Structure 1
Amino acid sequence: MKAKVVICGDTSRIDSFLTTMIMKDPSVAGIVLPVESETENSDTALSALVTAAHLCQQFSLTVGKNEDLASADVVVIALERPQIAAEDMLTYVQGIMPKFRKLVNSVIENGFKGKILISAPFDELLVYFAWRFSGLPQTQLLGVGTFSQTLFLQSQLKDRLRVGENDVSALVVGTPQQQLIVWSRSYVGPAPVLMYLANQDNHFSAEDIANLEAASSSQSLMDNWAIQDLALDRLLMALVEDRPLIATVSNIQTEHEVGALAISTPVLVSLAGVRRLTDLTLSDSEETDFETIISQLRQTITEIENGKLGGTE
Structure 2
Amino acid sequence: MDDCQFKVSRVALVGSGAVGASYAFALLNQGITSELVIIDRNFQKAEGDAMDLNHGLPFSPLSKIWAGDYEDCGEADIVVITAGAGQAPGETRMDLINKNSRIFKDIIASVMNSGFKGIFVIATNPVDVLTYVTWKYSGLPASRVIGSGTILDTARLRFLLGQEFDVDSRNVHAYIMGEHGDTELPVWSNANIAGLSLMEYKAQHNNPTDERLEEIFVQVRDAAYHIIERKGATYYGIAMGLARLTKAILNNENSVFSVSALLDSEYGLDDVYIGVPAIINRDGIREVLKLNLSDTEQEKLHHSATVLKKAIASLDL
Structure 1 residue 72: Cα displacement:
1.0
Q: Confirm whether residue 187 of structure 1 aligns to residue 197 of structure 2.
A: no
Given that 2:279 and 2:289 are in contact with CA atoms closer than 8 Å, whether structure 1 keeps it comes out as no
Given that 2:51 and 2:66 are in contact with CA atoms closer than 8 Å, whether structure 1 keeps it comes out as no
Q: Residue by residue, what CA displacement relative to the aligned partner does 1:136-180 show, whole Å, maximum 9, x if unpaired?
A: 000001111111111121122223223344432101000121211
CA shift in 2, pair 1:41/1:4, >3 Å: closer
SS at match of 1:228: helix
Given that 2:81 and 2:121 are in contact with CA atoms closer than 8 Å, whether structure 1 keeps it comes out as yes
CA shift in 2, pair 1:280/1:59, >3 Å: farther
Q: Residue by residue, what CA displacement relative to the aligned partner does 1:164-215 show, whole Å, maximum 9, x if unpaired?
A: 444321010001212110000111133221332223x464323431221111
Aligned mates of 1:133, 1:260 — CA distance in 2: 15
Given that 2:259 and 2:278 are in contact with CA atoms closer than 8 Å, whether structure 1 keeps it comes out as yes
Q: Confirm whether residue 239 of structure 1 aligns to residue 249 of structure 2.
A: yes
SS at match of 1:120: coil
SS at match of 1:253: strand
Report what 1:133 is aligned to: 137
Output the aligned Cα RMSD: 2.3
Aligned mates of 2:94, 2:179 — CA distance in 1: 14
Aligned mates of 1:203, 1:296 — CA distance in 2: 33
Q: Confirm whether residue 253 of structure 1 aligns to residue 236 of structure 2.
A: no
What percentage of aligned pairs have identical amino acids? Answer: 21
Report what 1:58 is aligned to: 62
Report what 1:21 is aligned to: 27
SS at match of 2:88: coil
Q: Residue by residue, what CA displacement relative to the aligned partner does 1:64-99 show, whole Å, maximum 9, x if unpaired?
A: 232222211100111362425325x53432123222
CA shift in 2, pair 1:239/1:206, >3 Å: same
**Aligned partner (choices 49, 55, 69) of residue 53 of structure 2:** 49
SS at match of 2:117: coil
Report what 1:6 is aligned to: 12
Structure 2: which amino acid aligns with 1:267?
A
Q: Confirm whether residue 274 of structure 1 aligns to residue 278 of structure 2.
A: no
What stretches of structure 2 of length at least 5 have no aligned partner?
Answer: 1-6
Structure 2: which amino acid aligns with 1:204?
P
Q: Confirm whether residue 163 of structure 1 aligns to residue 167 of structure 2.
A: yes
Alignment of 1:1-313 (within 5 A): 1-33=7-39, 35-38=40-43, 40=44, 43-79=47-83, 81-83=86-88, 85-87=90-92, 89-177=93-181, 178-199=183-204, 201=205, 203-218=207-222, 219-220=225-226, 223-255=233-265, 260-304=271-315, 308=316, 312=317
TM-score normalised to the size of structure 1? 0.88
Given that 1:161 and 1:202 are in contact with CA atoms closer than 8 Å, whether structure 2 keeps it comes out as no
Structure 1 residue 294: Cα displacement:
1.0
SS at match of 1:7: strand
Aligned mates of 1:220, 1:240 — CA distance in 2: 33
Structure 1 residue 264: Cα displacement:
0.5
Range that drifts further, 1-10 or 228-237? 1-10
TM-score normalised to the size of structure 2? 0.87
Tell me how many residue pairs correspond in the alignment: 302
